[in-house]
């Protein structure tokens, strides 16, 4: 499904940023890069250097003289802007963006980004279906071009791979309640001998807190054995 998404950089000024964008695209499985009126000769060695291996994206990137030609193959265009514009376009949030992707899974969707210094002009935005603003601090809203693109790549990747992403970590079975209870009783007996529960009228609430602490940890058998060993060592004179 990644092939249905394309990234359009309008008048980029730095080869380094183009390369960083290509790298992020490859990180998340995207490959379609279009560049409109680049302000530098492209491709160039700086773009390739910062792509860190995403040479295929740099080499296959299409260069256009105008936005009209660059967006021809897309059904929908979502443009990125750091500020809200006074134009007749629907401004959307990241949440809205996810809904649009879900609703239009079979369509080709283009993501358009403006030049580093000024962003997209109102004319550029006129070719968009939606304008997306990534939430940032009100004290410093402007994101670097490649950072902005990376966030969008991640959001799309996360959404379309929601069911397939698996965390490869070993599954450790949580100890049974009876095992936890046994260690807990041992701990409480030791604390009793050490006169820990003083004043005695607070013993009930203190026991409740200890229970909450131990059970919240959901220890597996190995962790529980370590805890039991620690308790036993503390009980020795």
Each of the 237 residues of the chain gets a pLDDT tens digit; together they read: 667 899 999 999 888 999 999 999 999 999 999 999 998 888 888 888 889 889 999 999 999 999 999 998 898 999 998 777 778 888 999 999 999 998 888 888 999 999 888 889 888 998 888 999 998 888 887 788 999 999 999 999 999 887 554 545 455 666 776 788 788 888 888 888 888 888 888 888 888 788 767 766 667 888 888 988 988 887 776
Spatial CB neighbours of 128, under 8 Å, sequence gap ≥ 6: 77, 78, 79, 89, 112
Residue recorded with tokens 């994101």: 143
Cβ atoms of residues 146 and 21 within 8 Å:
yes
Q: Percent helix, strand and coil across the chain, each rounded to 5? A: 50, 15, 40
Cis peptide before 231 (omega within 30 of 0): no
Question: d(Cα 78, Cα 123) in Å, to the nearest integer?
Answer: 14
Cβ atoms of residues 66 and 40 within 8 Å:
no
State CA 168 to chain mean position distance.
18
- In the chain, ranges of CATH 3.40.1280.10 domains: 2-160
Spatial CB neighbours of 197, under 8 Å, sequence gap ≥ 6: 191, 203, 206, 207
CATH number of 2-160: 3.40.1280.10
Distance set, CA 232 to CA 2, 8, 138, 228 (Å): 56, 64, 55, 6
């Amino acid at each position: 499904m990644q092939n249905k998404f394309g990234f359009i950089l309008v008048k980029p000024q730095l080869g380094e940023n183009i390369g960083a964008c290509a790298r992020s695209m490859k990180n998340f499985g995207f490959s379609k890069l279009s560049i409109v009126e680049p302000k530098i000769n492209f491709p160039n060695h700086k773009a390739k250097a910062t792509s860190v291996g995403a040479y295929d994206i740099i080499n296959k990137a299409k260069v256009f003289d105008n936005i009209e030609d660059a967006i021809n193959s897309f059904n929908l265009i979502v443009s990125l802007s750091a500020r809200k514009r006074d134009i007749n376009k629907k401004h959307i949030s990241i949440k809205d963006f996810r809904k649009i992707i879900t609703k239009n899974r079979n369509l080709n969707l283009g993501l358009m980004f403006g030049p580093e210094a000024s962003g997209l002009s109102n004319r550029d935005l006129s070719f968009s279906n939606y304008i997306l603003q990534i939430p940032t601090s009100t004290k410093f809203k402007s994101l670097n071009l490649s950072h902005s693109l990376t966030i969008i790549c991640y959001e799309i990747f996360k959404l379309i791979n929601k069911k397939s992403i698996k965390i490869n970590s070993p599954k450790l079975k949580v100890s049974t309640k009876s095992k936890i209870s046994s260690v807990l009783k041992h701990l409480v007996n030791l604390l009793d001998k050490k006169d820990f529960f003083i004043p005695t009228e607070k013993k009930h609430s203190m026991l409740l807190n200890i229970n909450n602490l131990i059970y919240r940890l959901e220890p597996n058998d190995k962790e529980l054995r370590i805890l039991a060993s620690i308790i036993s060592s503390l009980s020795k004179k």
